[in-house]
Copies of this chain bind each other. A is one copy, B any other.
Amino acid sequence: MKRTSRDIRTANRYEVLRQIIAESPTSRQELAAATGLSLATVATLVGELLDLGLITEVGFEDSAGGRPRGLVAANASGGALIGVDIAETYVHVELFDLALNVLARSDEDMRAGESRPEQVVRHVAAGIGSVAARAGIEAARVLGVGVSVPGQVDRDTGVAEYAPNLGWHDVPLLGLLAEHIAHPLYLDNPLRACTVAELWFGAARGRGDAVVVNLGTGVGAGLALGGGLHRGVSNSAGEWGHTTLVLDGRLCHCGNHGCVETYVGAPGIMQNLRELSPRSPLLHPDDQTATIDALARAAAGDDPVALGVVRETARHLGAGISDLINLLNPEVVVLSSWVAARLGEPLLGEVRRAVARHALRRPLAATEIVLSPIPTDPVCLGAATFALEGALRSAGQRAAKRTTTARGRTAPPS
Contacts and interface: CB of A to CB of B under 8 A. Distances in A.
Interface of A: 1-5, 8, 15, 35-36, 38, 152, 161-162, 206-209, 221, 223, 225-227, 230-240, 242-247, 249, 254, 256, 258, 319-320, 322-324, 326-331, 358, 360-363, 365-367
Contacts of A223: 327-328
Contact of A36 (B2, B360, B366): B2
Nearest to A2: B227
Contact of A327 (B243, B319, B322, B365): B243
Given A236-B363, A238-B327, A324-B327, 4 more contacts: A2-B15, A4-B36, A209-B230, A238-B329
B361 A329 contact: no
A131 to B, nearest CB: 32
A328 B1 CA distance: 14
Contact of A161 (B221, B226, B362): B362
Nearest to A12: B2
Give the top 8 A-B pairs by smallest Cβ distance, nearest first.
A232-B329, A234-B366, A237-B329, A239-B326, A2-B227, A243-B323, A233-B331, A236-B329
A232 B152 contact: no
Nearest to A35: B2
A329 B363 contact: no
Contacts of A36: 2, 4
19 contacts: A1-B206, A1-B207, A3-B226, A3-B227, A152-B362, A161-B362, A209-B230, A232-B330, A233-B329, A233-B330, A234-B362, A236-B360, A239-B326, A240-B326, A243-B323, A244-B319, A247-B247, A247-B249, A247-B258
Contact of A1 (B8, B152, B208, B363): B208
Chain A at the B interface: SS class:
loop
Contacts of A2: 15, 35-36, 226-227
Given A208-B1, A226-B2, A358 B244 contact: yes
A36 B2 CA distance: 8
Nearest to A327: B240
A36 to B, nearest CB: 5
A326 B5 contact: no
A328 B226 contact: no
Contacts of A362: 152, 161-162, 234, 236
A316 to B, nearest CB: 8
B236 A152 contact: no
A12 B51 CA distance: 32
Pick the most buried of A5, A239, A258: most chain B CB atoms within 10 A of its CB: A239
A3 B4 CA distance: 13
